[in-house]
Structure formats: C-alpha cells, structure tokens
Amino acid sequence: MATHLVWFRNDLRVNDNLALAAACRDPHARVVGIFLATPEQWQQHDMSPRQAEFIWQHLQCLHAALAARGIELHIHQLNDFADCVEYLKSFCETQKVDALFYNYQYELNERKRDAVVEKTLDVDVVCQGFDDSVLLPPGSVTTGNHEMYKVFTPFSRAFIKRLHEGLPECVAPPKARSAALPDNEKLTPFDYPRQPVDANLFPIGEQQAINQLRQFCRQPVADYGEQRDFPSVDGTSRLSAYLAIGVLSPRQCLHRLLKEHPQALDGDAGAIWLNELIWREFYRHLLVAYPKLCRHQPFIPWTDNVSWQQDEQQFIAWQQGQTGYPIVDAAMRQLNTTGWMHNRLRMVVASFLVKDLLIDWRQGERYFMSQLIDGDLAANNGGWQWAASTGTDAAPYFRIFNPTTQGERFDKKGEFIRQWLPELGIVPDQYIHTPWIWAEKQQLTLDYPHPIVEHKQARIATLAAYEVARKPEEKEHEK
C-alpha cells in the first residue's frame, strides 16, 4: 500500500487544499500529514507572537479535522529550514513514504528549501507541488514580451481577462479514509513566543473563517468601496489573517464573491474587493519574478541612495504611538494591541515613518512583521515599498501624505482616535486632529505629546533627500 505524505505549511485547512486533495485521490493510499515548526527561522523572519498563536490554534483545529477523516498529523519542531531536509528524509524512510505533496511558498528561502528537499529525496519519493495560495500561478500573467508586469493596472486587466477565460476551481475536502482516529492526544506547543488573539476579531477555526467570508460577501462587500477607508467603520473583511496562514484559500474567496455578486469580474458590486485580492496576487507574482524583493532590496535601485535618518527616539515614538499626530498614534496602538491595522492607516503610518521622519522603510516593514497577525512577506513588502516610493507601481516620491489631513478626511469626528487615545477624550471634535492647539488655547496640559516633527518642514527635507538620491541616476542617463 502506498503512503502519501502531505507537508502542511501556510495551508492549515482541509477545504480546497490542493496538496491534500491530490494526496487523497488514491482511495487505497495511506495518507499522513506533517507540520514542521521552525522557531529560529521564524525569528529571522520576524514572525509576530500573535501570528504564532494563530498558527498554533489552527494547527490544533487541523489536527482534529484530519483525525476525523482517519489521517494522522505529525507536528515536529526543528530549528530552521536547513534542519527540515534531513528530518523529512528520515521521516519518509521510517514511514515508507512513496510521494510527498505540498503547496508552494514563494518566498526565496522557502523556494530554496523546497529545491533541496526535492533533490535530497530524489527518486525515492515522488515530490508534487501545487500553486495553492494564488488564483493564478506566478509567471502565468505576463506582458506581450512574456515579462512580469511592473504596473498594477495592466496586470489587473490581464488577470481578470484570464479569469474570464476560466476560473480556478475549488477542490472538496477529503472524505474519511478510515475510522476516525482518537483526538485526545495532547499536542506539545512549539517553542516560540505566543500572544493571545482577540477571538472577537479573529475567531479560531476553519469553519469560523468560512462563515466570516460568507457573511462579508453577502452585503458588506457591496459597500466595501464606500466604507473601506474609514477606520471607525467595520467595513473591511479582516480575512487577511486567515489567508496569511492558509485557513482560507483565495479560490474560496473568489467563488464566494462571485456566488453572491456574479458580475464582480465585470466591475459591478464586489469588484473593489476583488481588486484587493488581485493586489495580493500581484505582490506574490513579483516575489518570484524579482527575488531581490526577498533580500531587503528596493525595486527601484536609485532609492537605495536615500540618506535615511538614524533617529532611534523618533522611531520608538512611532512604534509606541507617541508622535503627536493622533491618526498615526491611534493606528499604531491598534496594531500593538490587536496585531492588526486598518489598511488605509497602514499607508498613513508608513508614509509618516518614511516621508515625515525619513526613517528607512525596512525598519517599518520589519516592525510590522513583528506585530501583525496577518504578516505576509509579499503583501507587507509590497505595501511598504509602495509607501516609500521604492517599489514597482509605487506612489511617486513627491506624493507625501499629510497626517493631519488624512485624519480629518477619514476620521473626521475622531471616533477611531478616541477609541485608541483615551487621553484625548476631552478634546472637542474640531481640534481632535490638532489637540496641542486646543490645549494651548485652554492653557491645559494634555497627557499627549506635541508633534515630534513639523510636517511642512519634514516634507521639504524628504523631497530634498530623494532629489539628491536621484542625481547619480540622472547623470547615468545623460552619458
């Protein structure tokens, strides 16, 4: 009897799991699952304690779901990716594994690891990988010259055209292969810092994630375009945490969206949220086309010439939500408290760090990863490089968000700000974005800092720094 091994990574689900479905296709094969925790590698990649807890909780759910289908799940801790190779080889020998099934990860270190695993197992174990965490495989949506798109809009058009030609199908969860296995085994947690997850924001369990997807696609997705920019409104899906560790697949999201809003591909209701799914694809495709993005390098080479400020005190003030700009500080405190931040605010705080404080975007990128429950290298790197004007399809370097104006526009009465900055509770609505002005007029002392930089002056300094960085490139073009 053949033995099929499913190597679970960022795909902690039984529904629409391409590797799991393929492993279970032969009804006579014995199917075994394995998850390899690699705390040292996670530390290098700045995985947040909340995401570690989210993974741990969903590993337990996956263990139970597989056990109900007669499939064992082995969980083992190793140091890093290098240790995975020899352990898998030994495990395959011990379990007499004939075939290994896994879903691709697109980050550079992960791709190198998988290549070594395939080479090491060689002819003894047939390895089969699947493009599971994307709607369309990287490299399948290209320009007329067969190159990766560098601008999102034409990529999106080509992507939707491909979807019109044929939708990627969801696969059913595997049927029970034998009697259910006892699910009373106490699993040993991996040795990595973990932090509690707010179950009201992120309910634990695959079915809970599916329920949240269904609920969002019924009505909120139709209002998404109008409500997504206002942080005091519950107008976003909050599904990114489930997508990041694979409790949901992007195919499930697409099919549920089209079930509720069949014309979303044609620009009708739901199209704006579909666009967010395509942004997710764009950044994943870019990682494969340009591996340097995994190496902390900017997409636009000249931007590496920017002379960043090394101001540790200002960086800490930004981290802790003590910059004196209420919308920035409220957003950072939301991140630090929940492990999640509203998408509009991710752009605002990133712009503030890079364009107001002139601090290297890589410091912000890394801090986000250390806090986010939905930490994902492709999306996080893409977002930070967009904000820093260093990436593909990025905001031009002279586009600099005014943090006060952003607050006035998207949290006019300060409802979101008051939620996270209780020390501003007595400040009237008209001064909630400039509380220092009100405090001076009232001759009061607020338990809240004055702005750590003056935006207009900071903008001038940033523009000058980017202009100086561009000059070597301009001279090169003149030759």
Average pLDDT in the chain: 95
Please give the pLDDT value at position 393. 86
Question: Beta partners for 6?
Answer: 33, 101
Q: Which of the two residues, 84 and 478, has the higher pLDDT score?
A: 84
Please tell me whether residue 389 adopts helix, strand or coil conformation.
Answer: coil
DSSP string, 323-346: SS-HHHHHHHHHHHHHS---HHHH
> Percentage of residues in the chain with pLDDT exceeding 90?
93
pLDDT average, residue stretch 449-474: 93
Q: How many CA atoms lie within 13 A of 455 on its CB side?
A: 15
Whole-angstrom distance, CA of residue 428 vs CA of residue 251: 46
182 pLDDT band, cuts 50/70/90, is: confident
> Average pLDDT for residues 210-231, to the nearest whole number?
94
Mean pLDDT for 183-209 is 93
Identify the pLDDT of residue 375: 98
User: Which residue is listed with tokens 């011990």?
Assistant: 94
Can you tell me the distance from the alpha carbon of 137 to that of 104, in angstroms, rounded to the nearest whole number? 10
Answer for the pair 257, 221: CB distance below 8 angstroms, yes or no.
Answer: yes
Q: What percent of the chain stands above pLDDT 70?
A: 99
Max distance between CA atoms of the chain, in angstroms, equals 82
pLDDT tens digits, 123-140: 889 999 999 999 999 999
- Per-residue pLDDT for 328 more than 90? yes
* Least confident segment among 3-7, 150-154, 473-477: 473-477
CA-based Rg of the chain, rounded to a whole angstrom? 24
**CA 14 – CA 36 distance, rounded (Å):** 17
**Which pair of structure tokens corresponds to residue 213?**
């997807």
pLDDT per position as a tens digit, 6-22: 999 999 999 999 999 99
DSSP assignments along 441-453, one per residue: HHT---SSPPPSS
Question: Amino acid letter at 49?
Answer: P
Give the three-state DSSP class for 100: strand
pLDDT band at 476 (very low <50, low <70, confident <90, very high): low
Whether the per-residue pLDDT at 478 is higher than 70: the answer is no
Q: How many CA atoms lie within 13 A of 371 on its CB side?
A: 20
CA distance 478 to 261: 52
pLDDT in tens, 263-309: 999 998 899 999 999 999 999 999 999 999 999 999 999 999 999 99
Question: For residue 473, what pLDDT band results from cuts at 50, 70 and 90?
Answer: low
User: How many other β-carbons are positioned within 10 Å of the β-carbon of residue 115?
Assistant: 10
Homologous superfamily (CATH) of 301-472 is DNA Cyclobutane Dipyrimidine Photolyase, subunit A, domain 3 (1.10.579.10)
C-alpha to C-alpha distance for 295 and 385, rounded to whole angstroms: 13
User: What pLDDT is attached to residue 1?
Assistant: 87
Span 449-469, average pLDDT: 97
Catalytic machinery residues = 276, 279, 308, 343, 361, 384
pLDDT at residue 123, as a whole number: 87
Parse the chain into domains and list their residue ranges: 3-130, 133-169+202-289, 301-472
CATH number among 3.30.565.10, 3.40.50.11540, 3.40.50.620, 3.40.50.10470, domain 3-130 = 3.40.50.620
**The pLDDT value given to residue 242:** 98
Question: Taking the domain 133-169+202-289, which CATH number applies?
Answer: 1.25.40.80
pLDDT value for 219:
85
Per residue in 331-375, pLDDT (tens digit) is 999 999 999 999 999 999 999 999 999 999 999 999 999 999 999
Number of neighbours of residue 2 by Cβ within 10 angstroms: 13
Tokens of 139: 């490299």
HSE (CB half, 13 Å, CA atoms) of 403?
34
Q: Is the pLDDT of residue 185 over 90?
A: no
Q: What is the arithmetic mean of pLDDT over 108-137?
A: 96
Q: Per-residue confidence at 475, pLDDT binned at 50, 70, 90?
A: low
